[in-house]
Amino acid sequence: MKIFVYLLIAFLFITNCSLNKVVKKHGIRNLEIKQEKLNINQSNINDITKLLGPPSTKSTFDNDIWIFIEREITHEKIFKLGKEKLITNNVLVLEIDNKGMLVKKDFYDINKMKNIKISSLKTENKYSKRSFVFDFLSSMRQKINDPLKKRTKVD
């Protein structure tokens, strides 16, 4: 009887283990293949949204910059204690002019991202806590919180 119970418990543990790896996907799938269909000075905003959907991030400077991301993560083997492993990390940066045409296209994969140099310079704050900006924002916050000035002052 004990052997039957041990076999049943072992069977339950074995059947609950998955032989297929679980892959977490984020962003646009097959970004590398889809981006090849976009042509500079031929594709427009409608073509881009039809092919890729809405961008992950938008920014507007002189031209619009749309950023699309694809990321796949899986777990390592049991010996590495389930540490996550990055399989795919693709980023597509599209620059669109004010007429809606694609002007520039940059595609970055894992290998290209390793070659990107990141600046080690740091930005410093040039204002103190009691600067003009701090005082102005504090007064604006006070006016928003108490527009009719009915709140009693506590000193």
Q: What is the chain's pLDDT, residue by residue, as a tens digit (155 residues)? A: 888 888 878 776 666 566 667 778 888 889 889 999 999 999 999 999 999 999 888 887 767 899 999 988 887 766 666 678 888 888 999 999 888 899 999 998 887 777 777 778 887 766 566 677 777 777 778 777 776 666 655 54
Sign of the Cα torsion 140, 144, 145, 146 reads positive
Query: b/e string for 57-90 if b means 16 or more Cβ within 10 A?
Result: eeeeeeebbbebebbbeeeeeeeeeeeeeeebbb
Distance from C-alpha of 77 to C-alpha of 22, rounded to nearest angstrom: 11
Q: Are 84 and 77 in contact (CB under 8 A)?
A: no
In terms of pTM, does the model score above 0.85?
Answer: no
